[in-house]
Amino acid sequence: MPALGFVVRPEHPPEELPSIAARVESAGFDELWLWEDCFFAGGVAAVSAALSATSRVRVGLGIMPAPVRNPAFAAMEIAALERLHPGRVMAGIGHGVTAWMRQIGAKPESQVALLEETIAAVRALLAGEEVHADGRYVRLDGVRLDHPPDAAPPVFAGVRRARSLAVSGRVADGTILSEPSAPEYVRWALEQIAPDREHRMTVYAWAGDDRDALRPLVAERLRGGGPQFDQLGVAAGDDVPDELLNRMTVTGTPEEQAAAIRALGDAGADAVVLIPPAPGADPADVHRKAGV
């Protein structure tokens, strides 16, 4: 069975994070994940609050958008978190939602090149190296962290298409796959990543026993199409029958939800991170209904 995580949705105001994080830990989850979505609370501050309110659970920031995170300053933030809470920090970096990046004037000409250069630089800095980079986007002139962590925390790429997955395989410690991800997509993604070293696969999944709450979420993504649906041979549209819903979410009875989590693990997921369809879900209830 893969590790089990829980997403604290960004709609929660930041002052609620410490109490929610404590409840996620007491519910028995292995991991807690936060999103740096526009224009909610900043991801680093939110992760720091969650780490300070817990003692065991690992906390992931999935993801920081590369276009707005200078790699030197991103590494400084991640290093500080890791030194304060050793062994419990996971950092994800991605392209950022295209519409949001355009909205703030930060969309690069090549999202793929920017992501590769950023992750490579951040990982090198966290490893205590002096970094000289003169890339298309990342330029660092002999930068070295004064307070690197004793052990570099993992840096993941939050990506979903073939070219970006290949970048993740080259430069990241792991990959974060966004929701919805069926087992077929997880297997395909691993083929694109083609890792030649240890590489962790984290898979987000909408979860809950109320299919009516999950169906419109899948339908909205299906209208836009994409590789998650291509691997199932499903064309873009609005119809989400139960069979498709069951393949792309963790839903149904506790036994059915546990089977869905196992199927993602069998496909290659090292961690399955459950996302409630709306804020306010009780972590203990979500964990219990997951049947694990």
pLDDT number for residue 196: 84
Q: Which is nearest to 240 in space by CA: 258, 219, 221?
A: 219
Contact 106, 98 (CB under 8 A): no
pLDDT number for residue 7: 98
- Under CATH, to which class is 3-289 assigned? alpha beta
pLDDT number for residue 239: 86
pLDDT number for residue 251: 97
pLDDT number for residue 237: 77
CA-atom Rg of the chain in angstroms? 18
Cβ neighbors of 109 (< 8 A, separation 6 or more) are: none
Q: Which is nearest to 37 in space by CA: 7, 15, 57?
A: 7
Domain assignments of the chain as residue spans, ordered by start: 3-289
d(CA 130, CA 141) in angstroms, rounded, equals 9
Chunked mean pLDDT (size 10), the chain, 292 residues = 97 98 98 97 97 98 97 98 98 96 96 98 98 98 98 98 98 98 97 94 97 95 92 86 95 97 98 97 97 88
d(CA 177, CA 149) in angstroms, rounded, equals 27
Placement of tokens 């920081």 in the chain: 64
Confidence (pTM):
0.97
Hey, how many other C-beta atoms are within 10 angstroms of the C-beta on 272? 29
pLDDT number for residue 238: 76
Q: Which is nearest to 31 in space by CA: 272, 245, 220?
A: 272
